Structure formats: C-alpha cells, structure tokens
Structure 1
Amino acid sequence: MKKTSTLSILLLAAFFLHAIKSSAQIKKNGTVSGMVKDNQQKPLDFATISLLKAKDSSLVKGALTDAKGSYKVSGIASGKYLIATSMVGYQKVFSKPFTISETNADVAVETLLMSAGNHQLKAVSVVAQKPLVERKIDRTVLNIENSVLAAGNSAMEILEKAPGVTVDKDDNISLQGKQGVTVMIDGKLTYLSSAQLATLLRSTDGNSIQSIEIITNPSAKYDASGNSGIINIKLKKNKAKGTNGNLTLTGGYGAYPKSSESVSLNHKEGKFNFFGSYNHGNRQQARNLDIDRTVGGQAGNTFFTQKTFMQQTNYYNNYRAGMDYDVTAKNTIGFLVNGYFNGEKDQNFTHTLIGAKPTAVDSMQNTNSTLNQTYRNFAFNLNDRFQIDTAGQELGIDLDYSKFNNNNIAQYTTDFFLSNGDSQRGSLLLRNQTPSEISIKTIKADYTKSFKKIVKLEAGFKLSDVKTDNDLQAQKLAGNSGYVNDTSRTNRFIYDEKISAGYVNLSRNFKKLSVQLGLRAENTSSNGNLITKNQVVNRNYLDFFPSLFLHESLSAKHDLGFSYSRRIDRPSYDNLNPFVYYLDQYTYSQGNPFLKPQYTQSFELNYSYNKTVNVSMGYSHTKDVMTEVILTVNKASYETHLNLQSQDSYNVNINTPFTFAKWWTGNVNLNGFYLGFKSDSLLGGNLNKGRAAFQLKALQTFTVGKTLKAELSSNYQSALVYGLFYIKPQYSVDAGVSRSFFSKKANVKFSVSDIFNTRRNDLTSNYQNTVLDIRQKGETRVARLTLSYNFGNSKLAVRRHNSGADAEKNRVNTGN
C-alpha cells in the first residue's frame, strides 16, 4: 500500500507542475469565454453561441452554454471578432468587438444579458426529448422523466431495468455482475444497509425521478466506498419563477392491492425559494420460498424439505421540505429537512419435513412467525454555495445530521410432529424485541478553481461520525413462568465509526486529450462492542485511493477513454451486527462483527462511435471480498458474511440506440462478464469458482401522435456464479402505455410488470457437507394505473440539494 500511495503522490505532483507549466507556455490558439444570463441575472443554459468575424459577420465557430450559463470557444486564429447569442423565446444579443492576438490570446467577453422576445411563433411546435438510455464520457444515464415504465413503479423496480444492473433475492444491487454498489440520491449518500436501502428505494415513487446515473469508475471527489461503482438517482426539478406542483395517484394489483399518493409544491419569489413534497403508500405482497437442504454428518445425511409462504403488508410516509435564499447573485444558502415514518407487518408460515432419506420423513415441524416493524428517520441539511468568480471558482459547504429509530417485535411459534402427524413434544414459543438507533453527523466542503481555462483544480474534505446502538431482547416461554430472558440470544451491540477524508483532483484539457488525476485519503477509526459477551473489535487504518481518467477525441466520430481507481467497501451495519434472526429452528441469519473491509482496483477502457454506440472493457481485483455464505452447525443452516481471499472480474459492455422508424426507437445493452472467487481456507476447504455470464436488456419506445406513447422492456440474465452460489437464469418482460391531456398537464399511464410472470430467484450451493437448492418467487406481475396532474408554472427553478451524509446512509435499514 505504501508503494502505491508514494507513487500516486509523486505522479500527482509531477502532473500538477507540468499542467501549470503548460498553461503558461502553450498558447498556439486563442480562446474566448463568457456567460449568458437573463434580465434577472439567472444563467441561461443551452443558449446558442456564435463566433462571428467583425468584418462581415460570417460564422467562424459555434458552441452552447452549460448549466451555469458559461461558454468557451477555443482554437481561434488571430483576428477581430464578436459573439452573438440566441435562444428560443429571447431576443438575439451581440457583444462588443474584440481582438485575438499573440499578446491577447485569451479574451473574457462581458456577460451578455438576454431579454424575453416580444413576438410569438405561430403554428410551430418544437419537441426535444432525451433518449431513454444516454451514454456520456464517464457514466450511463437512464432518463426516467416522462417514461411510461416509471408510472407507479418504485425506484427499485426502475433500477432493475437499468443497463448492467441486477437485484437479487435479498435486494442486493449488483452492477456488471458485482455487488458493492454505492447508491446516492441527488448526489448524496444514503448511509443505509442493503435491506434499509431496498426499503427506501421501494418507497420512492418513480414519478419523482428525473434520471438514474450509472458511474462504474468514480473519481476521487466521491467517497471511496462502492467497489463496483455508483448509482446516482436524480430527482425532478423545475425552472422559473412562480408557483407549481404535481399530484400523482397510483392504484395497482398483483396478488394483493397496492396504492400510492404523492404531492409536491414549489414556490419562488424574489430571493426566496420554498419547496416540499410528501409521499404515502400502502402495499401488500406475497412470496414463496422453497428450500431443499442436505446436511452431512458422521451418522449420515439429514434431508430437509422446507416450504415457506411469506405475506407482507407495509406502508410508507416520506416527506421533504426546505428553502433557498439568494444572499447575493453569487451566494445561495439553504436548508433541507427530510425523513420518513414507515411500518411493516410480516406473517410467515414454514412447513419443514426432516428425514434420513429424501423420500422418508422422520419428523415434521411448523413455524408461524409474526414480525411488526417500525422505521423512523429525521435528517437535516444546511448548505452554502458560493460562486467566487465567473471563471468557475466555487466553494460549497454542507452540514448534515441524521437519526434513525427502528424497532422490530417478532413472535415465533414452532410445533413438532412425528411422521404420522402426531404431536412429538410441546410447542416452542420465542419472542424478540430489537430496538436500534443510528445517528450520523457529517461536515463536507468542496472547492473548485480553474487556471487560465486550461487546468481545473478540485479539492475538499469530509468528516463523518456514525454511532449505532442495537439491543436484542430475546425471550422464550417457560411454562407457568411466562416469557423469560433467553441469555443465549440476548445481546447488545454498539458500533462507533469516524472517517476523516480529503481529496484533490487536477484536470487538464489539451487539444484533443483530457486528463484527470486524483487522490483521496480516508482515515477510519471504528469500535464494535458486543456488550453481553464482552467482545470488542477496534480498528484504525489510513488508506489512499488514487484515480486516473484519460479521454481522447480521435476524430469527429471516434472517442477513446481509459480510467483507473482504487476503492473500499466497509461492512454494512447490519452485517456487523451479530444478532440472530430466525426463519425457524433450522434456518436463521447472523451478522459477523469481525468482517473486514474489502479493497478493489478497477481498470476500464471505453470507446464511443458517433456519440451513440458505446463499448467498454474492464477488469477489477478485489481483496478480502465480503461474500454471503451459508454455514451449518448441528444440522441448522444460517446465512452470514465472510471475507473470501479475492474476486477477479472481467466485463465487456456494448450499448447502442436504434431507430426502426420515426415512431419506433429504443436501446439495447449487452453486458458480458466473468466473476471468479478464491479462498484458500474457507470452512476447512479451498474455494476456486468462476463462470462467464451475460445480461441482455432491450428498451423500446413507440410514439403515436403527440399524446400517446408506449414502452416495452425485456431483460435476460444467464446463469452465473457468485461466491458459493450458482444462480439460475432470469428473464422478464414489462410494458406500459401513456396518454396526456389538457396541454400535457394531465397524464394517464397504464403498465404491467413481468407480463408473463417469469421473474424469480433460484440458486443452488454445494460446498463441504451442505447441499442447498433454493427456489423463490415473489409477486412480480403487477398491473398499475397512474393519474398525474401538473399545476402552476411548469418552469420553476429548484436548486438540487446534495448533503454530505449520503455515503453513511447507504449502510442503514428503512422498512418497506
């Protein structure tokens, strides 16, 4: 590690010196830059910039302004010029003439102010729509806004359709076949465990999502967590003064009914901008879980045949409110309050047959379990964004506080029978109460500065302080004494974690080559205390995470890129918690307080043809990979996580849009990958497993007239190997249709997920003395009808809010 860190620092220093030297010496062509704003001093994005010769107003070059209203035109020969800017709905504006020469190569044009046009265009309709799947230099973007398939679906259900993304039976999210994905919302980490994150995503209405960004190799600016990359869910925003809002109602039915309602409201007046939203939903769903298990022993094999029916009823209430205040034209402060109060009730029934032969039953047992869970969260963010100058120098500061309060009350009743159905012995009654509390405090600052429009510096720091307190109160019924404490299972686990991080990124744009070199340092101090058993695990470690990005434009139609990064994944809070969660006497799950973080080095080469066809090839190596395993003790099998020695991953991804007709367009994504796992001493044996696999996703859009649109989504994933498990193929088809009314203010959408009811999660495992065959079918075929109405000004500007506590929230549970 020290060699890597030293080399990274030397490379960073050499690159910085070279970049500054180059910026001072290399000026073969002139550049002109500036900003475009409206009369209210608000930046105008996507305004057309034309560089004209001052002599005859002939066009030399063109450009577009970015989201901040800035533009830059490079490669300009010596001469006298002027800038013209135009935009639909605004009057054309010209700059004063200026001269480009050897002594005046870089010209900053005065800010151009555009006034709204006083004329109207008659009988002209211009519609610009982003493709459903869009490939950019460093990420793939799934444009959800206005998509039919988003209607009534949750964020989790939409993610399952995203290129290269899969969701397994336990709601673990994988990217290009690898687990360890960091999920962000509006650029903010969620700090949740996989189970809690799944709950949050299932309670996030798809109608509130603008787009989903998939970043397979993030830069040093992002938290170093997430070995397979980052998925950033961007919520919708609007763009002008006034008041606007949206009301959405959804009803659905699969095996059980489902409903959701959401309302959002925004108001901007003067220097103030107020915004808020509320989402509510009720959902019933069912799942069938069948497990055939063979456990070897000195006395021979024992065979278990287990069938479980799981019925779940849950509700969610998510809220979000805040305000922005423009202190000056360059400085905006704001605060954001958001949270949820969710609940869930699970009713599970498990029937288990036990015998010395597969066809012979020696005994049986039935387990009824009832779980009542509540999830509460409150989060507060205070932020300040300061634009220091028009050259791109900015400073952003975020202060965050989040608190989670979860409670789980579980009741288990197990009845035992002989093979003929007679009672074998008295019932076993168990009861668990599991309150848990998580608090998260973070402070984050990000600074950006450009040098001569050639070199860009990004730097920042982040401090986080996380504390979790889990108290398992386990009881069992003891005759007339009633419920008494079960000392073998009762425990309390307190976990404290502090992370100090800093980063620096340097970017340099050459004529056709762009280079970015970054380094992030993170120091982690953690303490896990299993109080009842007096087990304490202390860790303190400093890590460096270098990153490198290269992008070259070979020609107008050919682009080539390369990226490298080193990343870390820390165990989720649930996986560190050693509590035992029962399905029945022979099946349960348990955390591992000794689980270590895993480290990944990733390399990726990508090629783009005509900005549409994209091909990428990647390789990554993960050390101490955290993997789900199933262990057997006294014929009982339990799920936990262990560190395997390593994981090697190879992948090839091909993404291309297609157009069969003006009304029929779409996108195809093919992802091929190989996952290999090694461990020299796993449960007394050597593990060396791997398999090549692929995933194919096709999205098709059909446009009929101006108000009717239909979409069809299909997905196939071949069989693959992950750790100890062989996962069987999966496939499904979704479809939807929408119609807009009242000048597109109202919309009706009807969709059906998993039309043929084929989506399921089946897997097998055969290691040491345990053979497993798991078959799981959830309620995946659901029909939904969604009504939505937009009211007020549809162009209200809402500033995107990113807190500094998003990485830590990725590791907590939310319910639903």
Structure 2
Amino acid sequence: MYAKLWIFILSLFLSFFAKSQEILNAKVSDSIKQKDSIATISEVIIQSSRRDLKLNDGNIVMSVSGNKDFKTSTNILEVLRKTPGVTIDSENGIFMGGRINPAIFINGKPVLMSNQELQSYLRSLSPEMVESIEVNANPSSKYDAEFKGIIDIKLKKNTNLGWKGNYIGNTSINKFNYKENSLNLSYNTEKIGYTLQLGYNNGISTYRYNALQRLANTNVMRTQTYQKDDAEIYAIQMGVDYKLNDKNRFGVNVRGNFRDSERIRLGSLYTVNKDETQLVFNTESKNPTNYFQDNYGVTTDYSFQHKNFKLSFLGNYLSVENKQKDDFLNNDMPTSQLLSYWKSDLLNKISIYTGQVDVSQKIGGATFEAGAKFSDTKTNNMIRYDTLAVDKQFIFDPTRSNQFSYKERIFAGYLAYSRKFNKLQINAGLRFENTQSISNAVTIDSVVARNYLKWLPSFSASYAFNKSNELSFSYSRKITRPVFSQLNPFRFYYSPLNYWIGNPYLQPSFTNQIKATYRYKNWVTAFTVGKETDVMVRYPIYNPETNVLEFLGTNLPYRNFATLEMSFPIKIAKWWNVNSQIVGYYNHEFRPYLDEIFALKIYNYEIRLNQVFSLPKGYTVNVFTNYESKTGNSLYIIKLRYTVDISVQKAWFDNKLNTKISFNNIFDSYDQRMEFRHKQIMDTRFTHWWDTQRLIFSLSYNFGSSKYQTKDIQKTEEENRAR
C-alpha cells in the first residue's frame, strides 16, 4: 500500500540531491573559469547566513522580524504563505498539511475568530511587529482536542515606559479597490499597560464560477456566475493589563467587530441540445444580498507565579448576530419573462461562555501540569422564505423555511508530564472531553441529543544530537466536532439549481496521527502519517429530472493520509537567497456513494520557491512561486495550478516608515478547476476564480516614545466554530 508513496519520497530526494550537486558543480566551474568577473555569481552556500529557523519539541519556529525572507511581506498573512508547513488558499483560508484548519495563538494563547475576522486581524499585523511564528502540527493533550494544528505568533515585547503608535495601510488594486487601515496605540506605565486598536476596511471583491454539464437527457448546460461584494468592516478593541506585583497579573480586553456587506450575484443557465445546434432554454438569475454581522467579546485573564508554581485563568464571553436578506429572481433571457421570485430573511444569534484554569509545578527536573475547562454555547437560527404567487403576492414558503437551535456544553481536563534527560526531552499527556449537545430543527420537528466522553492521549520525544542536529517524534489523538453551519439543516443557495444543506446527524471525527521531524541546521524534513475515522465531507446529489444539484453532509468511514515536507535554504550569493519547500501528499479515503464504494489513492505535491534579492540603497526584491500538482479525492479531480508574486520593499527615516509594492498572481493562474471523476453518474466540470491578481501598495509608520507591544485579545476554540 505504501510502496508508491516511498517511491515518490525517494524520487523527490534523489531529484533534489541531483540538483544540489549540479549547483555545486556550477559553482566550482564558474569560480575557475570566471574568477575575475564581478558580474559572475562567485559562491553558492547551501545554508542560511543566520539562524532564522529552529525546532521546539519538533515544531518549526521561524524568526520574522529582521528576517530578510519576509521584508517585502505586507502583513502576517503574507508571511504565513512563505512559512514551511503552512498553506494559504485563494480565499486566504489557512491550512496545515493541506487539510487542517489550525488554531491561531498569540503569545501562547488562543485567538480564534471567524475566517473573515481572523484574516482582517492578521492583515493588521506587519512583520516588524512579530518576533517569531511556531508551527505545531501535532499539539499535545493539554490543548483543546479541536486543535489538530496550532500556529503560535509571538509578538515583539518591550517594557519601555511611555506611549507608542503604529499605522498600517494597504490598498489593493485590480478592477476594483480594497483598502485596509489599522491604528494601534499603547501606553505603558510601571504597573499598567493600556492598548487600543482601531480598524476600518472597505472595498469590493469579486468571484466568478463557470461550469459545463452534460445532462442526463444529453443536453449541454453552461452555468456562469459573477459575484461582487462591497463590504465595510469596523473593528475596535481595548485592553488593560495590570501587574499587581511580581507574582500577580490581571488583564481585561473588550472588542467589537461590525461588518456591513452588499453583494450582488448574477448568473445564467444556457442549455442547448447534444450537438449544440438548438437552444433549449436560457435563463438569467439575480441575487442581491444585504448582510450584517455584529460581534462583541470580553476576555479576562489572571496569572499567579511563585518560584516553580504557576496558576492561570482565562475567561471569555462572545456574542455574534448575523442578519441576511436575499432576493432570488429568475428570468427567461429571450423573452424577459419572470419565471420565479422568492425572498429569504435570516437571523442567526450565537452566545459563548468559557472558563479555563491551568496549573503547573516543577519538581526537580520534571514539570507536572493540569487544567480544566468549561464551555457553554447556544445558537439560534431562523430563516424565512417567501415566494411570489400567481396573484403577485408573496406568500410564506414552509418547505424551505426553518428554525434551528443548537446547545453544547463541554467539560474538559488534562494531566501532562514533561522531563529532560540531558539531550532527551520527554512529554506525555492525557485529556478527557465530555460533550453534551442537543440540536432542534423546530420546523421539521427533529431533535438530536448526544452525550459522550472521550479520552485523548499524546506523547512526544525529542533528542538534540548537537546544535545542528535534532530529531523528534510525536503521537496524538484528536476529535473534530462539526461546526454549527455543518449541522444547520437550512438551504443555502449558490444558484437556483445549486444549494447545500447542513446535516444535524453528523458525528464528530477522530484522528490518530504520528509525526517525525529531523533538522540539520536550517534544513528540516517532517513525515506525518495518520488515520481519520468518521470523516465529515460534503457530497453532491444530482436530480436528472429537475437538474437540481444538492450538496449534503455525511460521515465517511475512514481515510488514511501521509505528508512529507522538506524545507531548505540555498544562499547563491550574498545578495541572493532562495528558500525552497517541497511537500508530498498521500490520501486514501473510503467513500460509499450512491450504493457504490470509491476508494482511490491520491498522490500530489507542492513546490514553493521564495527568492530574496538584497539590492543597493536598502531595496529588497522578492519573487515567490507556488506550484500545486494535479490532485483531488474519490469523487473529484482538481487540476494543477500555480502563482507567481513579485514585491519590492524600502525603509525610510531610520525604519520608521516602511513602504512596499507587490504584484500578486501576475499571470492570473491561480483559479481552481475541478472535474467530476465518474461520468456515468454526473458529467460536469467547473472553475472557481477569485480576484487574487492584485497590485498592492502598503505602508506602515511607527511613532511614539515606547516599544511596549500591544496585547491582543484571547478567544476560545468554540468561537472558531461560530461561523
């Protein structure tokens, strides 16, 4: 079963070794033949000039501030695109290992938000504000079981007294503009630190969807969708960090995030007969949407530390309210006749309370840790559909309207032990999580109640042979609960003939994973293998009579996966650095679908090259290339794609002003093209296109007398599921 995977791994290694030898031979040849030529590259050193990368218990830790590889990056989201082990997709979603949506930590504590809010927050952080990024691909049992991966962003710290300010502004330009503004202010006394962050983003983003489908009656249907989203986002957060004395510290943070969006989605269905000589129908759809989201949050944290004992508490409250109103109009294009018209009115409210206590005690060379956490989540969703009747009056549509409520309580605790024996570090932990949930689809009178307790162990060991060589091994068992949108049995439309529905009967999935990591200087190789059971996926159901395509949720029995990652720097010259990443993936999912079993083995790979040119007069040029091979799953083929970005950076006025210009996706080549594998079931292919080809102007300006670092709000893993 794994023979092909090992052949693939070996071929990657041999091809890289051959390329390294070729480069080294070229260096020797050039230095002999052209020793006196100042225009010739005179040295190739396959190592980094400074220690920008290290391991911490097997986790990659990448320096950010002062790292020339990230000087041209406009924000931390751009930095993550170039970080080993991390992938950023076309919609700026963050993934690890190609499949894991990680938790984001700030200074060791979770900062978990909805995708949109998280992206805005990460774009408000410049690389100069961040000390390092740690990528933990196999978190231990002391972390929430939902955390299959963690990205810990360490902010730069300074305890200077006084005040400090920072402004960051970005303008993205393509067909439309999008502007981002962030103002950070802080004031630090000997005992109290005050922080204030204000954000305002506004602009337009676009999306296109095209599909070609050969219908069951042999007709050919082409679908085109164009979406324009005009959004305004306001954000505010305020914090007080109070140092009572050397042992006690207390902090309070409050925040608000408000989004107002007007979206228009235009679509068409153009259908002809088999040989495409006769028009069958041609319809046009319009879907204007008004969307509002209001977020309010409060975080309190307290810590006590005395000698080798430490106690900490973290409490959170979150309130989210979503409102959305849609109109769906469908017309016959040749005659302009109105075929159908319906409206929807959505109200969604979520409230979350959490409390967490952690204690640790060092005894001799060992550290003992324990913790307990309680979370309480309530969500209520109401959606109403009204359809235009023949008498030109809107009437209530009970077949699509629904009310759905979901309540969840989680009681969790853990014990952890760690000890260092000379060069060997051992960590072990055991976590339990008791989940009590009840979902109620009021309109269809469907109630699902669950109460289950799960034990989740972890173990890791690392050995440092010397400063240049480290080897680590880790094992963990994780649980993934369905997010609220996956459980919600509402009908969410992409087009009049295309929508998805949540499934309140989804079960949580469980993952057992083993990871091994080896570092030689700045060369890092990591191999991960695991198995996930009760995998949560969406699958299509096509109705050949109505041509309606539904996407439904279900649990697959299992899937096996493996990942091999290699990252290594190559210093070609003093002014030319190249950081390379090669990632190979293996996925084998067991998928029952329409009374058949599909179990394909999928192999694919990614290659990234990040080239940095340090030019005279302080200019830095960066060329970033990302290539993704053909991939997919048991049902779909995903075609290869690539992107090339170029950016220039220059600092002014003793580094107080930093300016950057970037041209991302310069060949407009990062659209996603997919094709259904099994033509006897459904013959369709489609393309998703996002406006990632952008010219970006960025500047940041630092002012004030202090370098006291803003303390950011802390949120919980339940908040990440409130989307």
TM-score using structure 1 length: 0.78
Alpha-carbon distance between aligned partners in 2 of 1:270 and 1:156, rounded to the nearest angstrom: 33
Matches within 5 A, 1:715-726: 715-726=626-637
Pairing 1:240-639 to 2, within 5 Å after superposition: 240-296=160-216, 300-357=217-274, 359=276, 360-389=278-307, 391=308, 393-416=309-332, 421-422=334-335, 426-452=338-364, 454-480=365-391, 482-610=393-521, 612-633=522-543, 634-639=546-551
Q: Please give the alpha-carbon distance, in whole angstroms, between the structure 2 residues aligned to 1:520 and 1:275.
A: 35
CA separation of 1:434 and 1:129: change in aligned 2, threshold 3 A: farther
In the TM superposition, residue 274 of structure 1 has moved relative to its aligned partner by 0.5
Cα distance in 2 for residues equivalent to 1:809 and 1:694 = 33
- Equivalent residue number for residue 16 of structure 2: none
Structure 1 residues 594-613: Cα deviation after superposition (integer angstroms, max 9, x where no partner): 11111000001111113x11
Which stretch of structure 1 is more off in the superposition, 137-146 or 313-322?
137-146
Work out the CA distance in 1 between the residues paired with 2:667 and 2:55. Answer: 30
**Pairwise CA distance, 1:241:** 1.5
User: Matched residue of 2:718: which SS?
Assistant: helix
Residue 565 of structure 2 corresponds to 653
Letter in 1 for 2:269: T
- Residue identity matched to 2:358: D
**For the residues of structure 2 that align with 1:203 and 1:484, how far apart are their CA atoms?**
42
For 2:576 and 2:433, how far apart are their aligned partners in 1?
49
User: What is the Cα deviation at residue 294 of structure 1?
Assistant: 3.3
Offset, 1:529: 0.5
Distance 1:631 1:132 in 2: 49
- 2:656 matched to 1:745? yes
- 1:686 and 1:487 map into 2 onto residues whose CA distance is 36
CA contact 1:151–1:786 (8 Å) conserved in 2? no
Describe the shift of the 1:307–1:235 C-alpha distance in structure 2 as closer, same or farther (beyond 3 A): farther
Q: Distance in 2 between matches of 1:774 and 1:604?
A: 36
> For residues 762 and 434 of structure 1, what CA distance do their matches in structure 2 show?
31
1:251-274 Cα shifts (integer Å, max 9, x gaps):
221121121211111111121111
Which residue number in structure 1 is paired with residue 582 of structure 2? 670
Matched, 1:215 2:124: no
Query: C-alpha offsets along residues 158-179 of structure 1, whole Å, 9 cap, x if unaligned?
Result: 5444333334567654322224
Is the CA contact 1:151–1:206 (under 8 Å) kept in the aligned structure 2?
A: no
SS at match of 1:808: helix
SS at match of 1:812: coil
> Do 2:77 and 2:123's aligned partners in 1 also have CA atoms closer than 8 Å?
no
- Aligned with 1:394: secondary structure? strand
How far is the alpha carbon of 1:582 from its aligned partner? 1.5
Relative to structure 1, is the Cα distance of residues 207 and 174 closer, same or farther in structure 2, using a 3 angstrom cutoff?
Answer: closer
Native 8 Å contact 1:624 1:643 kept in 2: yes
In the aligned structure 2, how far is the partner of 1:358 from the partner of 1:622? Answer: 45
> What's the counterpart of residue 164 of structure 1?
85
Task: Report the Cα distance in structure 2 between the residues aligned to 1:366 and 1:178, rounded to whole angstroms.
Answer: 36
- Superposed displacement of residue 148, structure 1: 8.2
Contact 1:599–1:622 (8 Å) recurs in 2: yes
Match of 2:13 in 1: none
Assess if the C-alpha contact under 8 Å between 2:329 and 2:342 holds in 1.
yes
Distance 1:152 1:482 in 2: 54
**Given the superposition, is the C-alpha separation of residues 142 and 306 from structure 1 closer, same or farther in structure 2, using an over 3 Å criterion?**
farther
Q: Which amino acid aligns with 1:602?
A: Q
Deviations 1:284-343 (A, max 9, x none): 1222210122343xxx44532101111111121222110011111111101011230012
* Cα offset, 1:185, TM superposition: 4.9
Opposite residue 317 of structure 1, the aligned amino acid is: Y
Work out whether residues 105 and 112 of structure 2, in 8 Å CA contact, stay in contact via their aligned partners in 1: no
Contact kept? 1:152, 1:206, Cα under 8 Å: no
**Alpha carbon RMSD of aligned pairs, Å?**
2.4
Equivalent AA in structure 2 for residue 739 of structure 1: K
User: In 1, are the aligned partners of 2:479 and 2:511 still within 8 Å (CA)?
Assistant: yes
Alignment-mate amino acid for residue 178 of structure 1: R
SS of residue matched to 1:624:
strand
Distance 1:286-1:740 versus aligned 2 partners, 3 A rule: same
Deviation at 1:746, TM superposition (A): 1.4
1:690 counterpart = 2:601: yes
Q: Post-superposition shift, 1:722? A: 3.0
For 1:625, the aligned partner's letter is V
- Partners of 1:585 and 1:186 in 2: how far apart? 46
Mark the CA change 1:135 to 1:656 in structure 2 (over 3 Å): closer, same or farther: farther
The 1:797–1:203 alpha-carbon spacing in structure 2 relative to 1, beyond 3 Å, is closer
- The answer to whether the Cα contact below 8 Å between 1:701 and 1:710 also exists between their aligned partners in 2 is yes
1:232 aligns with 2:232: no
Count of residues in Structure 1 that have an aligned counterpart in Structure 2: 668
User: Once structures 1 and 2 are overlaid, which stretch shifts more, 635-644 or 403-412?
Assistant: 635-644
Letter in 1 for 2:532: T
Shift of 1:772: 2.4
Checking the alignment, whether the CA contact within 8 Å between 1:731 and 1:759 is kept in structure 2 is yes
| Contact 1:277 1:320 (8 Å CA) reproduced | yes
Partner of 2:683: 771
Distance 1:597 1:310, change over 3 A: same
Q: Which amino acid aligns with 2:555?
A: N
Q: Which residue of 2 aligns with 1:17?
A: none
For residues 573 and 165 of structure 2, the distance between their equivalents in structure 1, rounded to whole angstroms, comes to 35
- Asked if structure 2 preserves the Cα contact closer than 8 Å seen for 1:675 and 1:721, the reply is no
| 1:531-579 per-position Cα deviation (integer Å, ceiling 9, x unaligned) | 0000111111111110010111234432211100000111111111111
Q: Which residue of 2 aligns with 1:788?
A: 700
SS in 1 for 2:245: coil
Structure ID, larger Rg? 1
Deviates more, 1:696-705 or 1:530-539: 696-705
Equivalent position SS for 2:531: strand
- Alignment of structure 1 residues 49-88 onto 2, 5 Å: none
Counterpart of 1:435 in 2: which secondary structure?
strand
**What whole-Å deviation, never above 9, does each CA across 1:416-455 have from its counterpart, x for those lacking one?**
35xxx346x6431111111101101000011111111x10
Cα pair distance change 1:173/1:592, threshold 3 Å: farther
SS of 1:434's partner is strand
SS in 2 for 1:488: coil
* 2:139 counterpart SS class: coil
Provide the identity percentage. 27
Partner of 2:34: none
Partner in structure 1 of residue 647 of structure 2: 736
Deviation per residue, 1:129-181 (Å, 9 max, x gap)? 97766554432345454678687856555544433333456765432222443
Greater Cα shift, 429-438 or 695-704: 695-704
Q: Does residue 177 in structure 1 map to residue 121 in structure 2?
A: no
The answer on whether the counterparts of 1:651 and 1:672 sit within 8 Å (CA) in structure 2 is yes
For the Cα contact (< 8 Å) 2:565–2:581, is it kept in 1?
yes
**Alpha-carbon contact 2:329-2:338 (below 8 Å) kept:** no
Aligned equivalents of 2:319 and 2:49: distance in 1?
40
8 Å CA contact 2:156, 2:709 repeated in 1: no
Measure the CA separation in 1 of the matches of 2:503 and 2:693: 36
Cα gap change, 1:163 to 1:295, in 2 (>3 Å): farther
